[in-house]
Amino acid sequence: MAEYRAPVTDMTFILQHLVGMDKIAELPGYEEASADMVAAILEEASKLSGEVISPLNIVGDQNGVALDEKGQVVTPAGFKEAYQQYAEGGWGSLPFDPEFGGQGMPQVLAANVMEMWQSANISWGLCPLLSQGAIEALESSGSDELKQRYIPKLVSGEWTATMNLTEPQAGSDLAALRSRAEPEGDHYRIKGQKIFITWGEHDMAENIIHLVLARLPNAPAGVRGISLFIVPKFLVNEDGSLGGLNDCGAVSLEHKLGIHASPTCVMSFGDNAGAIGYLVGEEHKGLACMFTMMNNARLGVGLQGVAVSERAYQLAVDYARDRVQSPAPGCKESAAIIRHPDVRRMLMTMRTLTEAGRALAYAAYGSLDHQLRGEDSALHQARVSLLTPIVKGWCTETAQEVTGLGVQVHGGMGFIEETGAAQHYRDARILTIYEGTSGIQAQDLVGRKTLFDKGEAMDALLAEMLDCVEVAQQGSDRLQAISGSLLSAIEVLGQTQRYLLKASAADINLAGSLAFNYMMLAGTVCGGWQMLKAAQAAENLLSTEDADVNFCHAKLISAEFYMDQILPRYLGYAGAAVSGSESIMQLDEDLF
Amino acid sequence: MAEYRAPVTDMTFILQHLVGMDKIAELPGYEEASADMVAAILEEASKLSGEVISPLNIVGDQNGVALDEKGQVVTPAGFKEAYQQYAEGGWGSLPFDPEFGGQGMPQVLAANVMEMWQSANISWGLCPLLSQGAIEALESSGSDELKQRYIPKLVSGEWTATMNLTEPQAGSDLAALRSRAEPEGDHYRIKGQKIFITWGEHDMAENIIHLVLARLPNAPAGVRGISLFIVPKFLVNEDGSLGGLNDCGAVSLEHKLGIHASPTCVMSFGDNAGAIGYLVGEEHKGLACMFTMMNNARLGVGLQGVAVSERAYQLAVDYARDRVQSPAPGCKESAAIIRHPDVRRMLMTMRTLTEAGRALAYAAYGSLDHQLRGEDSALHQARVSLLTPIVKGWCTETAQEVTGLGVQVHGGMGFIEETGAAQHYRDARILTIYEGTSGIQAQDLVGRKTLFDKGEAMDALLAEMLDCVEVAQQGSDRLQAISGSLLSAIEVLGQTQRYLLKASAADINLAGSLAFNYMMLAGTVCGGWQMLKAAQAAENLLSTEDADVNFCHAKLISAEFYMDQILPRYLGYAGAAVSGSESIMQLDEDLF
Please state, in angstroms and rounded to a whole number, the distance separating the CA atoms of residues A196 and A212.
13
Please state, in angstroms and rounded to a whole number, the distance separating the CA atoms of residues A312 and A409.
10
State phi, psi for A180 to the nearest 5 degrees.
-115, 150
Test mutation, A254, A257, A353, A517, chain B, max B CBs within 10 A: A257
Test mutation, A164, A331, A446, A584, chain B, max B CBs within 10 A: A584
Reply yes or no on whether the pLDDT at A344 is more than 90.
yes
Closest CA to B396 of B261, B567, B520, B493: B520
Please state, in angstroms and rounded to a whole number, the distance separating the CA atoms of residues A162 and A212.
8
Q: How far is CA B461 from CA A139, B303, B483, in A?
A: 65, 21, 16
Q: With bands split at pLDDT 50, 70 and 90, how would you rate the model's confidence at A2?
A: confident
Q: Is the ipTM beyond the 0.95 threshold?
A: yes
Q: How far is CA B313 from CA A103, B166, B284, B318, in A?
A: 50, 33, 45, 9
Q: With bands split at pLDDT 50, 70 and 90, how would you rate the model's confidence at A295?
A: confident
Please state, in angstroms and rounded to a whole number, the distance separating the CA atoms of residues B363 and B21.
11
Eight-class DSSP state of A233: S
Rounded (10°) angle between helices B569-577 and B510-542: 160
Q: With bands split at pLDDT 50, 70 and 90, how would you rate the model's confidence at B128?
A: very high
**Closest Cα in chain A, distance from residue B163 (Å):** 15
Per the CB < 8 A criterion, the answer to whether B391 and B519 are in contact is no
Per the CB < 8 A criterion, the answer to whether A317 and B592 are in contact is yes
Please state, in angstroms and rounded to a whole number, the distance separating the CA atoms of residues A124 and A82.
9
**Closest Cα in chain B, distance from residue A19 (Å):** 24
Q: How far is CA A251 from CA A71, A233, A499, B368, B380, in A?
A: 7, 14, 49, 57, 62
Using an 8 Å CB-CB cutoff, list chain B residues near A566.
576
Q: Does A418 touch chain B (CB under 8 A)?
A: yes
Per the CB < 8 A criterion, the answer to whether B41 and B114 are in contact is no
Q: How far is CA B223 from CA A162, B166, B290, in A?
A: 59, 13, 12
Reply yes or no on whether the pLDDT at A462 is more than 90.
yes
Please state, in angstroms and rounded to a whole number, the distance separating the CA atoms of residues B589 and B592.
6
Per the CB < 8 A criterion, the answer to whether B360 and B369 are in contact is no
Residue among A176, A509, A565 minimizing CB distance to B576 = A565
3-class DSSP state of A221: coil
Q: What angle do CA B112, B116, B120 make, to 5 degrees?
A: 170
Q: What is the DSSP string of A362-399?
A: HHHHHHHHHHHHSS-HHHHHHHHHHHHHHHHHHHHHHH
Long-range Cβ contact pairs of A460-468 (< 8 A, separation 24 or more): A460/A379, A460/A382, A460/A383, A461/A383, A461/A386, A461/A526, A462/A490, A462/A493, A462/A494, A462/A497, A465/A490, A465/A525, A465/A526, A465/A529, A466/A490, A468/A529, A468/A532, A468/A533, A468/A536
Q: Which residues contact B149 (CB under 8 A, 6 or more apart)?
A: B236, B240
Per the CB < 8 A criterion, the answer to whether B532 and B472 are in contact is yes
Please state, in angstroms and rounded to a whole number, the distance separating the CA atoms of residues B464 and B445.
18
Q: Does A40 touch chain B (CB under 8 A)?
A: no
Reply yes or no on whether the pLDDT at B291 is more than 90.
no
* Beta-carbon separation of B411 and A172 below 8 A: yes
Q: What are the E-state strand segments in B42-126? A: 66-67, 73-74
Eight-class DSSP state of B564: I
Q: pLDDT over 70 for what percent of chain A?
A: 100
* Beta-carbon separation of B330 and A508 below 8 A: yes
Residues 239-298 of B with CB under 8 A from A: 254-258
* Beta-carbon separation of B433 and A412 below 8 A: yes
Pick the range with the lowest mean pLDDT from A533-537, B113-117, B296-300: B296-300
**Closest Cα in chain B, distance from residue A352 (Å):** 11
Reply yes or no on whether the pLDDT at A1 is more than 80.
no
Q: What angle do CA A474, A478, A480 make, to 5 degrees?
A: 35
Reply yes or no on whether the pLDDT at A500 is more than 80.
yes
Q: With bands split at pLDDT 50, 70 and 90, how would you rate the model's confidence at A294?
A: confident
pLDDT (mean) for B121-132: 97
Q: Which phi-psi region, left, alpha or beta, contains residue A389 (left: φ > 0; alpha: ψ -120 to 50)?
A: alpha
The pLDDT, as a whole number, for residue A293 is 79
3-class DSSP state of B66: strand
Per the CB < 8 A criterion, the answer to whether B301 and B431 are in contact is yes
* Beta-carbon separation of B568 and A576 below 8 A: yes
Please state, in angstroms and rounded to a whole number, the distance separating the CA atoms of residues B512 and A341.
5
State phi, psi for A359 to the nearest 5 degrees.
-60, -40
Eight-class DSSP state of A167: B
Q: Render pLDDT for A78-127 as a digit per residue (tens, 0 to 9).
A: 999 999 999 999 999 999 999 999 999 999 999 999 999 999 999 999 99
Q: Does B5 touch chain A (CB under 8 A)?
A: no
Closest CA to A175 of B327, B402, B191, B126: B327
Reply yes or no on whether the pLDDT at A306 is more than 80.
yes
pLDDT (mean) for A181-195: 97
Q: Compute the mean pLDDT over every residue in chain A, rounded to the nearest whole number.
A: 97
Q: pLDDT over 90 for what percent of chain A?
A: 98
Q: With bands split at pLDDT 50, 70 and 90, how would you rate the model's confidence at B294?
A: confident
Question: Diameter of chain B by CA atoms?
Answer: 83
Q: How far is CA A310 from CA A57, A124, A424, in A?
A: 14, 17, 10
User: Residue A114 pairs with which residues in a beta bridge?
Assistant: none
Test mutation, A437, A570, A587, A590, chain B, max B CBs within 10 A: A587
Nearest CA in chain A to B420: A257
Amino acid letter for position B576: A
List b or e across A517-537, with b for residues whose CB sees 16 or more CB atoms inside 10 angstroms.
bbbbbbbbbbbbbbbbbbbbb
Radius of gyration, alpha carbons of chain A: 24
Per the CB < 8 A criterion, the answer to whether A520 and B345 are in contact is no
Using an 8 Å CB-CB cutoff, list chain A residues near B325.
171-173, 176
Q: With bands split at pLDDT 50, 70 and 90, how would you rate the model's confidence at B1?
A: confident
